[in-house]
Chain A
Amino acid sequence: MQTLTQRLANPTRFMELSGRILPWLSGLAAVTLAYGLYLSFFVAPPDYQQGETVRIMFVHVPAAWLAMMGYMIIAVSSFGLLVFRHPLADVSAKSAAPIGAAFTLLALVTGSLWGKPMWGAYWVWDARLTSVLILFFLYIGLIALRSALEEDPALAGKLCAVLGLVGVVILPIIRFSVDWWNTLHQPASVLKVGGPAIHPSILIPLLVMALGFTLLFFAMHLKAMRNEILRRRVRSLTLAEVERASRLEARAAE
């Protein structure tokens, strides 16, 4: 009995399955996000202290969660590539990097927009902000390394996988080192021992938005993976075509 990951090792089967799932996933993401935005703009009450700015959180918190999830996807894919040599692992790692970087940037930008009225500055060197910024640098490093090795995609995939795994080892160290260094950002209040510390009127829109963002992430990731597979097919078709043409030319010259 093959597992799902083994079955998906065949790109044709993956294209077939993802083609069937993608419209549903995108539709579901759109509906959930629309409902989540409605909840967060019209239903959720303004905070008694922060006023309307609390609504920024409905974008900020899911984006920050997905920034970390994106890196986890890259790490798992890197592991899959280096250990199991799964053919889709590199496709997944490559497509997840820009999406994860975009969510990280979104979290940073929304955070700094919220920080100006609340903390009086767009940017403070606080532990949470700094470690998210470093996560962003790691994403940028992965993208830069891949683009520097454009002429050899297979090698680029392996090297990015090494870097991705090093990043996952070092990320918790960075996370805790900056934690001890300086802190201002509030501690986790949704996922914590003893239940969430947020009132349901705000928690529910937040969770709907988080679900919507997650669906959106996976829809974009799947689409990017499909594009990458098609891009690789075009590349190998072009290479085959060039080879055929040069062989014909050589035969004509004889």
Chain B
Amino acid sequence: MSALWSLVKRDLLIAAREGGATGTALGFYLIVIALMPLGLGPDLQLLSRIAPGVLWIGLLLAALLSLGRIFETDKEEGVLEILATGRVPLEFVVAAKAFAHWLSSCVPLAILSPLLGLLLNLELAAYPILLGTILIGSPAISFLGSIGAALTLRSRRGGLLIALLVLPLYIPTLIFGISAISAVVTPPGSLEASLLLLSAVTIASLVIGPIAAAAALRAQLG
């Protein structure tokens, strides 16, 4: 357990000291959201209706940017080989790294999202539930994303390929995240059911992600 914590701490420290990654993702998120009113026109009613969906999609894309970094630098520096031959099972290593990615990318994005909601005239009632669904749902982004990061480790077109492989896997998270928010904003609809399903998707991804990503890493290191 302490080995896992030190792995998480190490990844967070690298993310903080290297700088850039989190800031870039936040900047990207801000710009994507700012482009929306420019593309759709400044109709505040329209914006407030589509705000939850736009915020969620922007968050998915922004978090996607940093997925490649989960394993890339460790692969280049040979750290990944050491971790793979170490005593901690590779599945747990992947889980720790995905968790660190969630803390360093998804949580800042989640905290930024209510501020961006202001730009899109999101209804006041929706703010807590927006933040809540993102925090519940976004671990799936990191854990399913680790599969894509592991699969594309060797390919030269990694960045584009990750999006193609991983975005279809995010669909359940997106759908249940949105349906939870719309249950609050436009009353008919069950908030509890959506939240439970969203949690179920996240919990399933906590299992599938590390197992699949570790299998993919083993194939490439072995």
Contacts and interface: CB of A to CB of B under 8 A. Distances in A.
A163 B216 CA distance: 9
Contacts of A152: 154
Contact of B152 (A145, A165, A170, A181): A145
Contact of B169 (A158, A166, A180, A181): A166
A137 B167 CA distance: 9
A80 interface: no
A7 to B, nearest CB: 27
A144 interface: yes
Contacts of A178: 171, 175
Contact of B219 (A134, A145, A155, A180): A155
B164 to A, nearest CB: 5
B interface residue count range (under 10 / 10 to 19 / 20 to 34 / 35 or more): 20 to 34
Interface string B123-164: 000000000000000000000000100011011110001001
Given A137-B164, A140-B164, A145-B165, A159 B216 contact: yes
Interface in B174-217: 175-176, 179, 197, 201, 204, 208, 212, 215-216
A159 B151 contact: yes
A87 to B, nearest CB: 16
A145 B157 CA distance: 10
Given A138-B168, A141-B165, A173-B172, A166 B208 contact: yes
B164 A144 contact: yes
A184 interface: no
B172 A174 contact: yes
Contact of B171 (A141, A158, A174): A174
* Majority-rule SS of A interface residues: helix
B220 interface: yes
A145 B152 CA distance: 8
A145 B168 contact: no
Nearest to B173: A177
Interface in A173-193: 173-174, 177-178, 180-181
Given A148-B157, A162-B151, A82 B168 contact: no
Contact of A173 (B147, B161, B201): B201
A198 interface: no
Nearest to B216: A162
A24 to B, nearest CB: 38
A162 to B, nearest CB: 5
A133 to B, nearest CB: 9
Which 9 pairs from chain A and chain B are nearest by CB? A148-B155, A158-B219, A177-B172, A137-B168, A141-B165, A162-B216, A177-B175, A166-B212, A173-B172
Given A149-B155, A177-B197, 19 more contacts: A134-B171, A137-B164, A140-B164, A144-B161, A145-B155, A145-B161, A148-B152, A148-B155, A149-B154, A155-B154, A162-B147, A162-B216, A163-B165, A165-B212, A170-B169, A173-B204, A177-B172, A177-B201, A181-B179
16 contacts: A82-B215, A137-B164, A137-B168, A144-B165, A145-B155, A152-B154, A155-B154, A155-B220, A159-B220, A169-B208, A177-B171, A177-B175, A177-B197, A178-B171, A180-B175, A181-B175
